[in-house]
Structure 1
Amino acid sequence: MPHLHGRVAAQESVFARMSRLAAQRGAVNLGQGFPGTAPPAFLLDAARGALGRFDQYAPPAGLPALRDALGADLGVDGADVTVTCGATEALHLLALALLGPGDEALMLEPVFDVYLPQVALAGATGVTVPLTLDAARGWQFNLGALAGAVTPRTRALLLNSPFNPTGTVFTEEELAGIVALARQHDLWIISDEVYDELYFGPRPTPLRILAPERTFTVGSAGKRLEATGWRVGWIAAPPGVTPGVLGLRQITSFSAPAPLQAAVAAALPVARDAGFYDGLRAGYAARMTRLASGLRDLGATVFEPRGTYFLTALHPHWTADSLLDAGVAVIPGEAFYARHAAPAGLTRWAFCKSDAEIELALTRLAARPELTDV
């Protein structure tokens, strides 16, 4: 019989694998980044009200009410917003729209696992520039290294801020340098900002504010509203560019689920006006502090994030397999490295879980002396 194309040989995602193993072995899942608590009541109420009213195809660009709500929330024209089936589809669409054979896209490493395959599916090459990890200063971004990786084939910068997995948030000086680099070489900027409301400190500046003529912002209702399974994402494009993206949108998933789009449209202004994001950040900050403190007590070097709901840690005795044996699932650091070597003993921990889950994880680890002796 005929063979499947070689592109289907991709292995199971590390996130799916660790969640599967956690379920099979009864481990606390601090690996895959989905919240351990229910979405807010105002979002669930909006979804119930949408059922029976928004049950057929939505326009490929998204329900007008959601595009307008996102435009108001993001400070852009709703006509420049495209609603997608999660941020993953948004990133895939942009890879197809902006890149082709012979092109290169620059990104930082450690790198989220879908970036390189999506660029490859577009026929282009992903080029990674490593962040450095200093035990005292944490994760460090080097603009000069990024600039040094630009070639005549470079077409786009693919950046993530707040940054998964490191929790990095670019400073104003770094953002200015990135924008200057993009303008110097006439590059598109794909700014993956799914964690735009999850930060600890000053609000991150969106790249679209600094370079509106070349920046595509990718966002996610799943991260903002603690409903990752709803798969409602979006692209905010430079003015006038959206029609080209929509041409591809119609042949991917065509449209995101209409009732969930309607629910998100109703929920976004409520979340903003009611201070939901303030409470979300405060809750995550408390859980991050508890997890970081507990891991330090076990001998780990912990790098607290400035954004996202992940922290990274180093420990000489820890691997994802040894932690899973102790009843805790995390993501191994090497899962985020494709072109460079991962720091030895690096793991990523999700603190978007319930207080009870975090406490149980720390209790299980403390009960295993082979994991705590340094």
Structure 2
Amino acid sequence: MPHLHDRAAAQESVFARMSRLAAQRGAVNLGQGFPSAPPPAFLLDAARGALGRADQYAPPAGLPALRDALGADLGVDGADVTVTCGATEALHLVALALLGPGDEALMLEPVFDVYLPQVALAGARGVTVPMTLDPARGWQFDLGALAAAVTPRTRALLLNSPFNPTGTVFTDEELAGIVALARRHDLWIVSDEVYDELYFGARPTPLRTLAPERTFTVGSAGKRLEATGWRVGWIAAPPGLTPGVLGLRQITSFCAPAPLQAAVAAALPVARAAGFYEELRQGYAGRMQRLAAGLRELGAAVFEPRGTYFLTALHPSWTAETLVQEAGVAVIPGEAFYAQQAAPAGLTRWAFCKSDAEIDLALTRLRAS
């Protein structure tokens, strides 16, 4: 019998695995990052209205109404926007468009789990640059280390701000240094900004505003609008480069679900005008503090994020396996975000996009374990 290609040996992702274990054991799922709350009513109403009128194929680039709405929201030309089946497909398409055999892409570690495999599928090599975890100052980014990792084969920088899992938001000074590095070596920038509306403090500066000629921005309606299963993402490309992305887009999933695209197009201006994102951030900030305080009471060192809906924690006797099996609480192990360096001992990632009741139940179970 013929054999599957080696790439088909990929293992079940840790996020799917922990959610499966949580369901099997009745655990509180603070692992995989999907919200407990339903999407906002204005989004659901828009989806109901779209059913029956936007049910056939959309153009591979996306419904014009959604491209225009995203252009207005992001401050770009809608012609430079491509709608995708979630941000994961967006990142895959950008990797295919920018990278090939012999190329390298630099990214920071801890690293979101799809980045390295997607670079490899493009035939290129992912190179990680470690962030450090200082007990007093939290996660630290070293621009000098990133610069030192550039080689003649480096073609792109793949960055995530707000950063999953660390919660880091790059400062304007750090962003200026990143842009100067990219221009000095003529590198593309892939900026994963799926958590662009989930921040605590000053609004993150989008990299595309500093280097529009070389930045591909990836975004997600699922993160913004609490509808992660809808799989509506996007790419905002440098001016004039979208046709190259579309040539690949039409042979992947062809188009994202048309009714959900129509719903997101209608919902984006409402979310902005109604202050939905401000309310979302306030709610998440309160739940983040609730979870952080409880974990600290249990002896964990907690590193509060400046963005995303995740926090990281260190506890010498906690592992993700023992927590789900013995305490009935599912989290993501720190080693899931490490491929080329060792994870800090006792590191775990906790999702606080859950209800107060779920967070309280998780803390009660941890205290009893």
TM-score class normalised by the smaller sequence = over 0.9
The residue matched to 1:356 in structure 2 has which SS?
helix
CA distance, structure 1, for counterparts of residue 139 and residue 279 of structure 2? 27
Amino acid at match of 2:349: R
The residue matched to 1:39 in structure 2 has which SS?
coil
The 5 Å alignment of 1:133-148 reads: 133-148=133-148
The offset of 1:205, in angstroms, is 0.1
**Match of residue 371 from structure 1:** none
Deviations 1:287-327 (A, max 9, x none): 00000000000000000000000000000000001111210
**Match of residue 202 from structure 1:** 202
CA distance, structure 1, for counterparts of residue 157 and residue 305 of structure 2? 22
**Match of residue 330 from structure 1:** 331
The offset of 1:231, in angstroms, is 0.0
**Match of residue 10 from structure 1:** 10
The residue matched to 2:278 in structure 1 has which SS?
helix
CA distance, structure 2, for counterparts of residue 67 and residue 321 of structure 1? 43
Amino acid at match of 1:245: V
Deviations 1:121-172 (A, max 9, x none): 0000000000000000000000000000000000000000000000000001
**Match of residue 352 from structure 2:** 351
The residue matched to 1:157 in structure 2 has which SS?
strand
CA distance, structure 1, for counterparts of residue 172 and residue 190 of structure 2? 18
Structure 1: 4+ residue segments shifted above 4 A? none
The residue matched to 2:238 in structure 1 has which SS?
coil
Structure 1: state its 5+ residue gaps.
369-374
**Match of residue 127 from structure 1:** 127
The 5 Å alignment of 1:87-126 reads: 87-126=87-126
Amino acid at match of 1:7: R
CA distance, structure 1, for counterparts of residue 243 and residue 53 of structure 2? 27
**Match of residue 184 from structure 1:** 184
CA distance, structure 1, for counterparts of residue 264 and residue 175 of structure 2? 30
Amino acid at match of 2:345: A
**Match of residue 247 from structure 2:** 247
**Match of residue 367 from structure 2:** 366
CA distance, structure 1, for counterparts of residue 186 and residue 294 of structure 2? 46
CA distance, structure 2, for counterparts of residue 272 and residue 366 of structure 1? 40
Deviations 1:66-108 (A, max 9, x none): 0000000000000000000000000000000000000000000
CA distance, structure 2, for counterparts of residue 132 and residue 307 of structure 1? 18
Deviations 1:203-252 (A, max 9, x none): 00000000000000000000000000000000000000000000000000
Give % identity: 90
The offset of 1:360, in angstroms, is 0.4
CA distance, structure 2, for counterparts of residue 139 and residue 119 of structure 1? 25
Pairwise CA RMSD of aligned residues? 0.3
CA distance, structure 2, for counterparts of residue 74 and residue 135 of structure 1? 36
The offset of 1:280, in angstroms, is 0.1
CA distance, structure 2, for counterparts of residue 322 and residue 20 of structure 1? 15
The residue matched to 1:43 in structure 2 has which SS?
helix
Deviations 1:154-196 (A, max 9, x none): 0000000000000000001100000000000000000000000
Is residue 340 of structure 1 aligned with residue 341 of structure 2?
yes
Is residue 53 of structure 1 aligned with residue 53 of structure 2?
yes
Amino acid at match of 1:365: L
Amino acid at match of 2:200: F
CA distance, structure 1, for counterparts of residue 11 and residue 258 of structure 2? 32
With structure 1 as the length reference, what TM-score do the two structures score? 0.98
The residue matched to 2:65 in structure 1 has which SS?
helix
Is residue 162 of structure 1 aligned with residue 162 of structure 2?
yes
Amino acid at match of 2:157: L
With structure 2 as the length reference, what TM-score do the two structures score? 1.00
CA distance, structure 1, for counterparts of residue 226 and residue 359 of structure 2? 17
Structure 2: state its 5+ residue gaps.
none
Is residue 285 of structure 1 aligned with residue 285 of structure 2?
yes
The offset of 1:263, in angstroms, is 0.1
Is residue 77 of structure 1 aligned with residue 77 of structure 2?
yes
